[in-house]
Amino acid sequence: MTATGIASTPPSILVCLKFVPDPAQLQADSATGRPDLARAPIRISTFDENAIEAALRLAAEHAGRVVAMSLCAQVPPKDVVLKALAMGVAAVYLVRDDERLAHDPLRVATVLAAAARTIAARESLARWDLVICGEASADEYNQQVGPRLAASMNVPAVTYATALSLEGGVLRAERGIEDRTEVLELEPPALITVGTEINTARMPTVLQIMGAGRKPLVELALAELAGIDVAQLEALPGIELLDVFSPPSVRKRIAISGDSAGEIAADLLRRLGIDGEVTF
């Protein structure tokens, strides 16, 4: 589809989602220091909610359609998936990776590229005009999957976009770079990554939540993806995460005392000096 074609044809937009333990409720196990995942509810990664919002706004302006996909080691709670549908996504595809073969950014991008091709065929599309990802995931924040996915799909990428518009078949993206703002223009197809600066994600209404259950929620196995060879996937160079834990933290439980504010301040400074926290 040429730039002229997309100007007259509603754009097809694919959004990448990741379901993660809520970082705001994630705590370390007091005995091991490792994340206590059982105590943190699953949610859509914050940046991916912004990606959904950006896609929906473009789709609303140009009568487009938004579909979401996610690579999951296990299927997330249904109410969490339904939130994406309630926000306005037309369908959600969950790619199941039960054996966690895609455990690093390169493998994830490889699988997602195959999933994008497979889902496009199921949606009767020749290709996706736009793919929008969060700039990173709220749990790992490695910021690699978006650019790697663009490379796997052989499309140009614009990262860290803070504004998006589509006019005359040309995608216009703004991105903040330290002390300046860049404005880029490119013809679709393209991949864009966004962060929280681009928008405020909408909260679904009660009616939208009730209607979300009638929208398509499709599960796909790795073996169903076009062009995926499990043996080749396992043979790719990769990164193995060995452990995640927080450093031990022991409270000293020292009480600062004094009969006046001056004495309390003096006692505090003295103790800080003894501990080497402050050098006088």
Largest CA distance in the chain: 80
Output the six-digit token pair for 54: 């950006």
Q: Out of 99-103, 155-159, 241-245, 250-254, pick the least confident.
A: 250-254
Query: What is the Cα–Cα distance from 116 to 133, expressed in whole angstroms?
Result: 13
Query: What is the Cα–Cα distance from 154 to 149, expressed in whole angstroms?
Result: 8
Q: Residue ranges of the alpha helices (H) in 132-245? A: 145-153, 206-212, 230-235
The amino acid sitting at 204 is P
**Is pTM, for the whole model, over 0.95?**
no
Is the torsion defined by CA of 129, 135, 141, 142 positive or negative?
positive
| pLDDT at residue 5 in the model | 45
Query: What is the Cα–Cα distance from 192 to 269, expressed in whole angstroms?
Result: 51
Query: What is the Cα–Cα distance from 241 to 248, expressed in whole angstroms?
Result: 20
**At 258, is the pLDDT very low, low, confident or very high (cuts 50, 70, 90)?**
confident
| pLDDT at residue 277 in the model | 64
Q: What burial class does residue 179 get, using C-beta atoms within 10 Å of its C-beta: 0-12 exposed, 13-18 middle, 19+ buried?
A: exposed
Per-residue pLDDT tens digits for 102-131? 888 999 999 999 999 999 999 999 999 999
Query: What is the Cα–Cα distance from 277 to 256, expressed in whole angstroms?
Result: 15
Per-residue pLDDT tens digits for 6-44? 556 899 999 999 999 988 888 888 788 888 888 889 999
Q: Residue ranges of the alpha helices (H) in 96-247? A: 105-122, 145-153, 206-212, 230-235
Closest CA to 98 of 219, 218, 222, 233: 222
Phi then psi for 266, rounded to 5 degrees?
Answer: -65, -40
